[in-house]
Amino acid sequence: MKPARRNGGTPQDIARNLTLLRRSRTPYPETPDEARLETFANRYRDRDFWVTFDCPEFTSRCPVTNQPDFGRLRIRYIPDCECVESKSLKLYLFAFRNHPTFHEEVVNRVMDDLIAACAPREIVVEGEFNPRGGISISVACHYRRADPTKGAEPANRDAETATGRAGPGGSKGRRTEGGRA
């Protein structure tokens, strides 16, 4: 079966801009700042579908003790015009292995970098980190574009945004851009 031409051409047309897949030798970035997240055109942007990455061997370093931290990252997103290429994501996540960072920072930075790379309609990044000092840490963040013409905004920022009722820092019926009262 010949692939249909949708929103960006054939898979070969789409792959022309992906540089990491065609290399015979893979360069491993030392830091997340050196890594490059590559994207390709979403041929099915007329519908919502979830893309899920499960990264069970995530490693970074504790910024205080410099000891390795191990965990699992789960990334789910609904693409808009672009999808993240998985090898570039693998290399990006690999770049954290010697990077000193807190767990909360990892999850939020990964989400921010993916939003900058592919501007998804919605994204969820979850990190489950192995115990350190007898305590394991789970971090989750969720981002959703409320209106495609406005760009991305955080989802469920506070009780008012989530329920439509007044919550901490807000009163019902009075909102500014981003859902804050």
Q: Any idea which residues carry the catalytic annotation?
A: 62, 69
CB atoms within 10 A of CB 81: 15
Q: What is the largest CA-CA distance in the chain?
A: 58
Which amino acid does the sequence have at 48? D
Residue pair 127/140 in contact by the 8 Å Cβ criterion: yes
Please state the φ and ψ torsions of residue 36, each to the nearest 5 degrees. -125, 125
Burial 17-54 (b: 16+ CB within 10 A, else e): eeebeeeeeeeeeeebeebebbbbbbbebeeeeebebe
b/e string for 132-150 if b means 16 or more Cβ within 10 A? beeeebebebebebeeeee
